[in-house]
Amino acid sequence: MSTMSITGAVTDPLSNPAFVRALVDVSVVAVVAGVIGTFIVLRGTGFLGDALAHAIFPGVVVAFLIGANLLLGALVAGLSTATVMALLTANQRVRDNTAIGVIFTAAFALGVVILSRNNISSGKLEEILFGDPLSAHATDVVLTLTIGLAVLGAIAALWRLFVMAAFDPNGARAMGLPVLALDLLLLALTALTVVVAFKAVGDILVISLLITPAATARLFVDRLLPMAALASALGVAAGLAGVYLGYHTGVSAGGTIVLISTAAFFASWLFAPRHGILVAGLARRDRALLRARPEAEAEIILASPEIRAPHEA
């Protein structure tokens, strides 16, 4: 492929408004998901995000059937399920995975049942489940931008409190920080992120956008702000690549975004400079070689009589 056609492949679609909308939508979503995902990964509450994503399904289906904006349907469903979950788990059991699993699969099943009683095209169903950023309307982009900025604003305003609650929840509560309230707020922000992300990658794949870039970033950096920034950047890169590939080849953009993120995660898992397993493995081998070296600089020069070398026993 010549340089001209590569440039063309990048620039030509930009004259298509739907394509530009998709790029903007996916980028905003990736930035927000990277930041929220950082906290989700650090608190180990990924399952909760996944559950939320499934729970918005009936909302989206109902919105579609009554001809409302899908994002609005997701918003209503996401926030109300987050509230129900907050009430259910208020008794210091926010991570009660069993209860969450029961409730959220039930919500998903409700969506399936509603669907089965109504006619919905398989194309539309695919869009709901697996996303289609190229079909984003102007309203969708405006909603995504508004909600995304609100989420980022809330995180920025309470940044250090979220950090403190995530790092040492007990110490934070002992100092009087309202950790439960912060947990619930993070839950609501996660719900909002899932809502705006579902258009880009679909209901089933949302969790990947939240968790995978943040998990990848964690392999590279030891500070929170760089981790969130890197997660966002990785998400945007995967998102742009996915939208372009989807546009040119007709494969699912949502699925491609997830696959690219996942490939980046596994590559980092292997090759990341400090925390990748290959590097960690090499370090282990070096230590083993060191141990095998016969001439050491220090040795035991004095031991009480009851201490003997193993071979003397």
Partner 1 sequence: MCADHAAPGRAAWPTGRPALAAQGAPAAALHESCLVLDDVTVAYGRRVILSHVDADIPRSQVVSIIGANGSGKSTLLKAIAGLVPLAGGAIRCFGEPIDRMRRHVAYVPQREDVDWSFPVSVRDVVMMGRYPLRGWLRRSTPDDERAVARALDDLAIADLASKQIGELSGGQQRRAFIARAIVQEPDVILLDEPMAGIDEQTHDRILALFDEWRAAGKVVLQATHTHVHGGSMIVLRRRGEPGSAEHAEHLGAEGGEHHEHHEHHGRGD
Q: Interface residues with partner 1 (CB under 8 A)?
A: 42, 157-158, 160-161, 163-164, 166-168, 170-177, 218, 221-224, 227
Angstrom distance (rounded) from CA 55 to CA 57: 5
Residue 218 vs residues 38, 41, 64, 214: alpha-carbon distances, Å: 8, 9, 38, 6
Tokens of 17: 């408004």
Residue whose CB is less far from partner 1, 156 or 263: 156
Angstrom distance (rounded) from CA 132 to CA 202: 7
Residue whose CB is less far from partner 1, 92 or 121: 92
Place of tokens 């930035």: 31
Residue whose CB is less far from partner 1, 39 or 108: 39
Angstrom distance (rounded) from CA 154 to CA 160: 12
Considering the complex, what minimum distance in angstroms separates the CB of residue 172 from partner 1? 8
Helix-then-strand count for the chain, H and E: 15, 0
Sequence letter at residue 143? L
**Long-range Cβ contacts of 183-189 (<8 Å, 24+ apart):** 183/94, 184/86, 185/154, 185/158, 186/36, 186/39, 186/43, 186/162, 187/48, 187/52, 187/82, 187/85, 187/86, 187/94, 188/79, 188/82, 189/36, 189/151, 189/154, 189/155
Considering the complex, what minimum distance in angstroms separates the CB of residue 192 from partner 1? 21
Considering the complex, what minimum distance in angstroms separates the CB of residue 180 from partner 1? 12
Considering the complex, what minimum distance in angstroms separates the CB of residue 231 from partner 1? 11
Considering the complex, what minimum distance in angstroms separates the CB of residue 39 from partner 1? 11
Residue whose CB is less far from partner 1, 224 or 279: 224
Give the orientation angle of helix 253-271 with respect to helix 179-201, to 10 degrees: 120
Considering the complex, what minimum distance in angstroms separates the CB of residue 246 from partner 1? 33
Residue whose CB is less far from partner 1, 173 or 284: 173
Separation of first and last alpha carbons in the chain: 73
Residues contacting 148, CB < 8 A, separation 6+: 28, 29, 31, 32, 193, 196
Considering the complex, what minimum distance in angstroms separates the CB of residue 269 from partner 1? 15
Tokens of 263: 């490939």
Residue whose CB is less far from partner 1, 173 or 248: 173
Angstrom distance (rounded) from CA 142 to CA 158: 24
Considering the complex, what minimum distance in angstroms separates the CB of residue 154 from partner 1? 12
Residue whose CB is less far from partner 1, 223 or 291: 223
Residue whose CB is less far from partner 1, 9 or 175: 175
Place of tokens 């996660």: 190
Tokens of 35: 């930041």
Considering the complex, what minimum distance in angstroms separates the CB of residue 210 from partner 1? 18
Residue whose CB is less far from partner 1, 42 or 150: 42
